[in-house]
Amino acid sequence: MIKPEAVECGNQGAIIDLLIMNRFNITRMKQFRFEEVEAERFYAMHKDKPFFSDLISYITSGSVIGLELEKENSIRLLRILVGATNPQEANPGTIRYMYGTSLQENAVHASDSSESAEKELAIVFSGA
Ligand code: CMP
């Protein structure tokens, strides 16, 4: 998922190009704005974290782009391409190194397992 600041800054095209160049097959894509309750379901695994309410305010602050991607070993390979959660710790060449600005405004979210991907895709593409 491409997060609000990356969409707002016009970095979505460059990020999608990187996905294509790295041979991720885009099977579904949707630009939308989260309702608060959907965002809370999407990030339910973080509900007890101190940053949860900031995360929900931020992710509902503007449009995001949800993408369903296909590739062998896609979860692992996408997380490598995306880089560390904190852009200051991300390796050069990764999406967060190039387009992230802070721990919160880190350009993209990538699912951490197939189970999370299934759940997150159901939320993003509900009603689509
Ligand atoms: P993401 O991969 O979307 O998953 C949860 C998000 O919470 C994470 O990226 C960060 O943008 C955000 N976040 C904010 N503060 C923290 C923190 N202290 N530790 C981890 N993630 C954080």
Nearest Cα residue to 125 out of 70, 67, 83, 69: 67
- Does residue 111 contact residue 71 with C-beta atoms inside 8 Å? no
Residue 108 tokens, joined: 């993209």
Which CATH number is correct for 4-124, 3.30.70.141, 3.90.1720.10, 3.40.50.300, 3.40.50.970?
A: 3.30.70.141
Please give the mean pLDDT across all residues of the chain.
Answer: 97
Categorize the per-residue pLDDT at 128 as very low, low, confident or very high, splitting at 50, 70 and 90: very low
Categorize the per-residue pLDDT at 86 as very low, low, confident or very high, splitting at 50, 70 and 90: very high
Q: Are strands 64-70 and 25-32 parallel, antiparallel or unpaired?
A: antiparallel
Q: What is the pLDDT of residue 37?
A: 97
Ligand 1 pocket test: pick from 42, 88, 104, 120 the residue with the most ligand atoms within 8 Å of its Cβ: 104
Whole-number Å distance, alpha carbon 47 to ligand 1 midpoint, is 12
Residue 72 tokens, joined: 């062998």
**Could you give phi then psi for residue 100, rounded to 5 degrees?**
-85, 150
Q: What is the pLDDT of residue 127?
A: 61
Q: What is the pLDDT of residues 12-71, one digit of tens each?
A: 999 999 999 999 999 999 999 999 999 999 999 999 999 999 999 999 999 999 999 999
Ligand 1 touching residue 79 (CB < 6 A): no
Ligand 1 touching residue 84 (CB < 6 A): no
For ligand 1, atom 18, which residue shows the shortest CA distance?
Answer: 51
Determine the Cα–Cα distance for residues 80 and 9; give it in Å rounded to an integer.
23
Burial of residue 53 (CB within 10 Å: 0-12, 13-18, 19+) is: exposed
Determine the Cα–Cα distance for residues 16 and 1; give it in Å rounded to an integer.
10
pTM for the full predicted model: 0.97
Ligand 1 pocket test: pick from 85, 95, 99, 111 the residue with the most ligand atoms within 8 Å of its Cβ: 85
Please check the confidence at residue 103 and state whether its pLDDT lies above 80: yes
Whole-number Å distance, alpha carbon 104 to ligand 1 midpoint, is 6
